[in-house]
Structure 1
Amino acid sequence: MCPNRPEGASSESAAVARAKVVALALRQATASVGGVGALLHGWDRRSGRLTLEAVDRVATEAARSWAELREMQDEPPACALRRGVLVQVTGDGLGTGASGTVSLPLVSARGPIGTLSVLTADGGGAPDDVQLSFLQAVAAWTAERLESARGLPPQPAAGPEPEQVRTAKAVLLTTALAEAVTVQDVVRTVAEHVLSPFGADGLVVSVFEGGRLTRVGEVGYPVEYLKRFDGPLSAGMPVTDVVRTHRPLFLESPAQIYERYPSVRDKILMGTSPKMAWAFLPLVASGRAIGVSVLSYNRPRPFDQDERALLTTLSALVGQALERARLYDVEHARAQELQSTLLPQELPRLPAAVAAARYLPAARSEEVGGDWFDVIPLSADRVALVIGDVMGHGIAEAATMGRLRTAVRTLADLDMAPDELLSHLNDLVSDLGEDFYATCLYAVYDPAGRRCSYSLAGHPPPVFVYPDGTVNSPAPSPDPPLGAAGPPFTTHGLPLPDGSLVVLCTDGLIESASQDIDQGAARLLRVLSRSGTGAARFTATDQEKDLGVLEELCDTVVSELLPDRGRTTDDAALLIAHTRAMPASDIASCGLPDDPRAAGRAREFVRDQLRRWGLDDLTTTTELLVSELVGNVVRHAKGPLRLRLLRSRVLTCEVYDGSLSTPRIRHATFNDEGGRGLQLVAALSRRWGARYLSDSKCIWAEQDIPETAGAGAAA
């Protein structure tokens, strides 16, 4: 008779055996890739959770966040279990100083039982093919030993799943492919619905373009290993035959592939490739091969007839989905290219303002949007700041955005007031049809008057950050959106101290499914308040440094208000401008009599002021200009008259009068004694024009300041 064993001895010995297996597995896994630590999770199929069972060289506090994981989480162990393949990610997920994580599923004959994860060393580089192959061998040994330690009867070697199970998962794949939009969506869908059901360990999806295969996605392979196969199609390769014949190819062992394709022996080396069996599946659409998908296995295995037939059927579904996704990607890329060309490629650096901007397309939208922004130089060093949003998404909306931006620039060149400009823009949007609407904010900063005027059409109001760091967000009642509004629009204005910031944004930055627009606007104010954007951070002369501060501020605002860019469903635009007032020493003005003496008085004022500024070389031309401008007012308009000179990058002459009549160039004949004044103004100036105030108008002309004169004036 056998001696009686103490009660529980069997379970205790099993637990000891399991602990030894786990300890050895963790040490070997860490050593195999030169890692800094390892973790082992057990899998409970009923609860759908991974539970941390043991760690090696990982602090308990650091591992706590992975103590229990759900199957659908994005952490590496959950991804490896869900996909059924090795998963590599970069980054220090546990705060241990590691450079990345490698996770593998532990799969026994009865199915997945857990995961094995290794934290890779910082600065050690990604594990190579040999290290990964050894790590996979450690995982396979661990799964087998853990199953034996449980005292369960042995099971036959893992084979394909029952036909009814595979068929059910094929239905899930079909449904998921119907929802896949981009090429990467298709690759992820295949990885999630094909690898595990068919026991595969690796996937490569390639498209056929220009006589060569281009990889669009891979799972379970190091990228460096796959680069060996990049290049044009050549004879003697499995993928070449699959593309040529449109027929699948199943190779059940390295011996088969070496016998049939000797040329691959130099690329697939037993010592470096962990793959031992392959299914090369053609991706066919509209009767032509558009690519190849390759399923690979870490051990030799047979493919029965049912499995071959089902894989062939699934490859046809993948081919159709991939072709549709490629067409979408091409059209989407063209739409994004169109949109990017419609937005300003570089914002101008002007004496009165330097600006930085961000355009953030929606991460989860299938169409491009209609957000836009612009910075437009105006006369007298004034600056127009514009931001808008065409409602909806699509090519039509992007094209409408381009038309509106062009219209705004055209109307801005006419020096229109903000309310008048929006009235004309509203007519344009209304003519596009009842389904087109847009919001817009048009602001004008005047550096001489140190004032900002703006009008709103259904758009979030601007935010002003003063030099002392104070944040001001006026909340006027906005007019309705363009296309739904009825003029007149309202013009709002406020004084703006030198060195203030003007912050404009679209609703996509401050409104989302998790917060309404008021909450988002409040968050924006808090971010700007604590960002330290006072006058001390900006210089008086170096616009390059000021631009760097603005770029940093844009990044801060975006990261704070849109922390999860991958989940945004609306486009967002942000424009921040740092304003500079014109020094009082660069502004000179005088009143003029409303009679023929005005021209002589204006010439005297010009001679005296240009001498003070050291711009004597411009005296003769400027005298001619002001004589014609003042004479034109005396003959055709009415007082009161005023002359103003502005010195900046250019010299600007402005003549104000009390008439709203429009000056125009006449075609004087040979015998006419007059009518050539504005022709002379156009010939002598770099540009000229007129702008209208509430009860008067201003005719202005600009001249370039010679570099030598500018240097003398500065001295």
Structure 2
Amino acid sequence: MRTGEPLPAVGDVLASLATGLWRYDAAAGLVTLDAEAARLVGLPAEPTTLTEAGIRARFHPVDWNEVDGVVQLALAEGTIAEVRMRIMDAHGRVVRMVRSRSKPSIDPGTGEYELVGTLQEVTEPSAAAARSPITGDWRRSREAFLLDAGRALAEARSTEEVLRVAAGLSMPGFSPDGLAVFGAEGDRLTVIGHHGHKPGDEGPFTHMSLDTDYPAAEVVRTGRAVYLSSPEEYRGRYPVSWPLAAPFGRRSWAFLPLTVAGRTMGAWMAGFKHPVTFTPDERSVLTTVARMLAQALSRAGAAETERELTDGLQRSMLPTLGPQIPGMTVAARYVPTGGGLQVGGDWYDMIQLPGGTSRTKSGGGRFALTIGDVQGHDVRAAGLMGQLRIALRAYAAEGHRPDAVLSRASRFLYGMTYGDNDADQRFATCLYVEVDPATGTLEIARAGHPDPAIRTADRTVLMRPTAGGMPLGIDPDADYPTTRLVLEPGETMLICTDGLIETGGHDLDTGWRRLRRILEEHDGDMEELADALVQAVHGPSSHHATGPLTDRREDDIAVLLLCRVGEGCGCGDTVTVRPTVRRTALTVAQAEHERVAVARQQLRELLHDWSSAEQVDSAVLLVSEMLTNVLVHTDTDALLVAEVTGDHDSPNGTGGTGGRRMRVEVTDASDDLPHKRHPGELASSGRGLVLMEILADAWGVDPRGEGKSIWFELYEEPAKEDEEDEGD
């Protein structure tokens, strides 16, 4: 070409280099090809315009499916979109391979992108290059790598675990030897974690200003990736920060934005000891990993913030047990669900009460134990639980009796939750126990909560039915009657929320049977017993009342144990000795006929290890007759007291062949003494004393100053199986 002559046309130059020119209009869905581009795709060598479907038919479908991802990546990074594609003939055979390079641009009016690029034939790779980025083998290994990486990052639960997974990623064909994750706090760059560096290497990069001439800072500022293929390129583009990177001896670097929901939260640096050209395939892999890494770090950060909030809520809401009570031992556990904030509506508390004659300098006066469950397992439930717990403390501190404390608490919760928003109405179950350590007296009020259980000194576990009312917050005028029990020396009371009973697919009956076995078999102290009860539901765990649990639970669990020190109790330095007395008591009011069934169940529990099943059935029948007689023939309430005395393996001294004696006594305030009658065959009553005479080993009726008591005794006999064995 002579000096001063005009430059040749661009199309002529490209045609002389066997390079075609094409243009894609996304809005119209049309592709325009010049003559050389048409020839390369297998069409006549003349300018033509094709639809998107028409041009797609000329390429291998696998290659065509990757075009959009490469273009989107180039748009995001502001770089050239480069792809290699196989041209197919009408019979589905590959006739040549071409390389397309284009610069995408966005139409601000329509938001669609437009591509103008070149098309050039390239040589098919040889077998020796079978693992280069353009082959199907590499594509398959890349897809397998991304699947594995995505699965591993999705399972990481903490920032430390995410960084460990990222450090262990082995990228197909080009694995970095050094990684760093940068975050942003205000206008400063921070180092979240790194791999492939010595401790302390992160020092110069920590708290670096985002305005610094450093690639990671630029990525955080702009949200665009930076690829540096050589030290010369690094030094030329970032001369100020190059001295910080030079000592690491790397040859190539990739800095990618960590973006979540359109916000750049940091940057990821991958450094290589060997030169990397960062082809579109390599950039695609790095970009995909960066996106997965950003999502994983975001999830881990949210989970860690949640756990920190959970720990703070637990520390602020869960009480510590009060001062040591002379003659009593208290143990408690709280286990959250593990879901959400791991804080639900369950709670327990120990409240020192004012006044009382048994107060000592060591804090041994009257106190209250309360346990409850607010409906729900969310922040709302946790907030209501904290407020309700404070209200109960306030009412108890004013000196109110248990029934008054629950009545006021019910009105308080009703006023808080029953308003205009019916969808957010809540209720709570609660058990309130006022304890006098000097006498072991328990005054119990119950609001829809499970009854307490008592473990006697000889490890017999008895459910203690108590009078109760509706859950708190349903009826502001509800009444809560009280039940008085006495905790004898060596006995332990268990109160808990229903999570301890029903977790694991159990209902109230099967759940209590599971807990009964633990209570009967455990010989440790109260802390060990509390652990055993929780472990029976969820397995071994070192997390106690205020420790977080991360594995998911079905329901919250709150447990309180109260032991009155004595022989047979593992709550002190007392010697474990099996006592010779086992006792239960129950009041049956005139309007509470259903408590006759409760009395039968109580008696069976008291006699759970009695040798003769026939004697147990006889005792249950006689108790039914005695209680029914009081309810039908008098206007007073009945008091049932049943006790077992003696040792199982010693003679009872009364002519029986067993070792123990059972005595059952029913007392009422009526002066009318029962008389033995001779009922006819069709009579519906009058058989009580007849049965007593037939079934009891001894019985009697004793007048009292006011009222009377009727009693019977049974002496333990060997079980039927034992008698048959002896006969053989």
- TM-score w.r.t. length of structure 1: 0.46
- TM-score w.r.t. length of structure 2: 0.45
Higher helix share: 1
